[in-house]
Amino acid sequence: MHLPDHQLPGQRPSAEQPQGRHQTSGRCFIIPPYLLRRLARQDAPELLSAARAAKEALSHIRSVQSARTAPQPAAPPAFRDVQPGPPNRSIYDAAGSETLPGKLVRKEGDPESGDLPTDEAYDGLGHTHRLFADAFGRNSIDGHGLPLDATVHFGKLYDNAFWNGQQMVFGDGDGQVFERFTRSLSVIGHELTHGVTQFSAGLAYRNQAGAINESLSDVFGVLVEQYVRKQSVDQASWLIGEGLFTAQVQGKALRSLKAPGTAYDDDVLGKDPQPDSMDSYVRTSADNGGVHINSGIPNRAFYLAAAALGGNAWEAPGRIWYETLTGGSLPAAATFSVFARATAASAAELFGSGSAEHDAVRKAWETVKVKL
């Protein structure tokens, strides 16, 4: 399978990264460029507003990805014995501008503001912090208590949410295709996990390493939602971005970890293009080498491992993936095979070689045709 080569300017790594790794530029968006391009081409009168919003969102992606990212000071490695502290959240309001961070409208400990996106962002940051603290012992996104900042009401009808290397940013959506982006807890968890990756493995945001980067954000995005709702593997939806589409769209979510390629099938947006195994791996120069598309393969591997083990996915499977991400051995340019072997090694170290956990991980990668 091949996609047209609509190459976007690539993200450039910053000059410094902990432990000698290459850091991504940090600007990671939840809505893939290929989906926005579909929407931007629409010329039906009832979709003109949404098409215009999609064009503006694409223009914003191009502008921030083509800009050189200022070098960031190297962060110290996260110590395993650091006791997680409470979250330190600040929510800002851009009031329709694209100036960050905007006006401070709610800080840690403040009561609800009465503005739904503000309060959803505040809660979502807290829920994500709690998953990483309670389940994995991590002290915020960087492992050292990083304050969690977010800006809401970014831009005019802005069709995206992103992590910019320092904070979360949420658009309100166009109202025709996309709802407000604070509506989905899995989206908030997804984007903040890009920060965890930035401060740990520093995976490159291109080709298979970029798809692993996206997959890790999808994995921990669904785990945040499952943890908050206390959902077992069988009870969870395994969807990223559930609730983002308006009722006009034929689709449940942006992506499905359980069944990649089935999240939406719409006459405007097209069909979810994610493959569920290497048999359908997409070779393309678009979207930084298909980072949002091919992430379906490692996504399904995580789901299969979790389904084989049952119970709560944030426990054994989540620990294995978290240790792989933060353990210090994952190269920035990891391929699917390198990542698969690393997860199997983590499972063996945590639970023993030949354990049910180790076997579940190995079988999951074999099912999606990734060689160990």
What CATH number should be reported for the domain holding residue 236?
Answer: 1.10.390.10
Q: Which two tokens stand for residue 203?
A: 């995976």
Q: 118-122: which pairs have CB atoms within 8 A and are 24 or more residues apart? A: 118/91, 118/93, 118/152, 120/180, 120/182, 120/183, 121/91, 121/150, 121/152, 121/168, 121/170, 121/182, 121/188, 122/89, 122/91, 122/150
pLDDT at 297: 98
pLDDT at 15: 26
Catalytic residue flag (residue 292): yes
* pTM over cut 0.85: yes
Please, which pLDDT band fits residue 26 given cuts at 50, 70 and 90?
A: low
Tell me the pLDDT tens digit for each residue of 301-313.
999 999 999 999 9
Q: Please report where in the chains the tokens 């190269």 appear, as a residue.
A: 331
Q: What percent of the chain has pLDDT above 70?
A: 88
**237 and 117 share one domain:** no
Tally the domains of the chain: 2
| Residue numbers of the domain that contains 269 | 207-367
Rounded to whole angstroms, the Cα distance separating 59 from 68 reads 16
pLDDT at 27: 76
Please, which pLDDT band fits residue 64 given cuts at 50, 70 and 90?
A: low
Q: Which two tokens stand for residue 128?
A: 């994500």
Q: What is the mean pLDDT of the chain?
A: 90
Nearest Cα to Cα of residue 142 among 168, 166, 177: 166
Please, which pLDDT band fits residue 81 given cuts at 50, 70 and 90?
A: low
Active-site position among 153, 194, 292, 358: 292
Catalytic residue flag (residue 144): no
pLDDT above 80 for 2: no
**61 and 135 share one domain:** yes
pLDDT above 90 for 277: yes
User: CA-based diameter of the chain, in Å?
Assistant: 60
**254 and 340 share one domain:** yes
- Find residue 169's DSSP bridge partners: 151, 162
Average pLDDT over residues 97-123: 98
Tell me the pLDDT tens digit for each residue of 148-170.
999 999 999 999 999 999 999 99
Active-site position among 56, 120, 191, 357: 191
For 147-285, list the strands marked E by DSSP: 148-152, 161-164, 168-170, 239-240, 255-256, 265-266, 270-271
Last residue of a domain, one of 198, 221, 245: 198
**113 and 250 share one domain:** no
CATH no. for residue 41?
A: 3.10.170.10
pLDDT above 60 for 342: yes
DSSP string, 84-145: P----EEEEE-TT---SS-EEEEETTPPP-S-HHHHHHHHHHHHHHHHHHHHH---STTSS-
Average pLDDT over residues 133-147: 96
Half-sphere exposure of 217 (CA within 13 A, CB side): 33
Tell me the pLDDT tens digit for each residue of 203-230.
999 999 999 999 999 999 999 999 999 9
**194 and 47 share one domain:** yes
Please, which pLDDT band fits residue 16 given cuts at 50, 70 and 90?
A: very low
| Residue 267 belongs to some domain of the structure | yes
